[in-house]
């Protein structure tokens, strides 16, 4: 049963932190939403900061798996990352990148836990994109992957500002020029 409580806490925290922001969600709200008692929270996590770190680690694994599965469903080409991100942004629950959001709210300085986890996430995404570019036979994959990631992040922020998926299409066009 303890594992179920931990999973419920993580699920509730991931949903609420993404929807309302980490700082906007107090422990009482989290406990009520998860249906888990305070003692269980502290049995599994040292406090909110520990829970935030666990949520980001879980989000990283789930999000990268989602990206990989959806890119494969789109044929596995490097440019598919932009199509997949556009799909994700069409969801009414889209609130941008959970890692950029967490850094904006919680990262006190480079090297703190939230910053470190966000940097690790972006590195793993860049490595994945690099593999896609290499598999497609393009030279200079590491540099291209860095450029793709920059375009991806920029498209996410612009999509939030414009309330549109069009930025992903524009970023895809730019990435296509990088590959040619």
Select the CATH number that applies to the domain covering 1-45 from these four: 1.10.10, 1.10.3470, 3.40.1400, 1.20.1070: 1.10.10
Closest CA to 102 of 126, 123, 81, 119: 119
Asked if pLDDT for residue 1 goes beyond 60, the answer is no
Query: pLDDT per residue over 116-155, tens digit each?
Result: 999 999 999 999 999 999 999 999 999 999 999 999 999 9
Percent of the chain with pLDDT over 90: 93
Residues 6+ positions from 24 with CB-CB distance below 8 Å = none
Largest CA distance in the chain: 57
**Residue partners of 146: CB distance under 8 A and separation at least 6:** 126
Residue-range domain boundaries for the chain: 1-45, 55-179
- Which tens digit of pLDDT belongs to each residue from 7-16? 999 999 999 9
Do 55-179 and 1-45 fall under one CATH topology? no
- pTM to 2 decimal places: 0.92
Task: Kindly report the CATH number that applies to the domain delimited by 55-179.
Answer: 1.10.357.10
Q: Which of 165, 157, 174, 160 is nearest to 87 (CA)?
A: 165
Confidence category of residue 169, pLDDT binned at 50, 70, 90: very high
- Alpha carbons 15 and 10: distance in angstroms, whole number: 9
């Amino acid at each position: 049963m303890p594992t179920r409580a931990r999973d419920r806490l993580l699920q509730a925290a991931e949903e609420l932190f993404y929807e309302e922001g980490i700082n906007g969600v107090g422990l009482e709200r989290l406990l009520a939403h998860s249906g888990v008692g305070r003692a269980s929270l502290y049995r599994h996590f040292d406090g909110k900061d520990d829970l935030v770190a666990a949520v980001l680690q879980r989000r990283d694994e789930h999000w990268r798996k989602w990206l990989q599965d959806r890119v494969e469903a789109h044929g596995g080409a490097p440019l598919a990352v932009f199509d997949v991100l556009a799909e994700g942004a069409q969801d009414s629950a889209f609130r941008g990148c959970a890692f950029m959001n967490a850094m904006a709210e919680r990262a006190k300085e480079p090297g703190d836990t939230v910053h470190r986890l966000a940097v690790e996430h972006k590195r793993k995404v860049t490595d994945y994109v690099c593999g896609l570019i290499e598999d497609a036979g393009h030279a200079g994959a590491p540099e291209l992957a860095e450029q793709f990631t920059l375009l991806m992040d920029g498209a996410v922020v612009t999509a939030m500002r414009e309330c549109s998926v069009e930025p992903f299409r524009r970023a895809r066009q730019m990435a296509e020029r990088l590959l040619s």
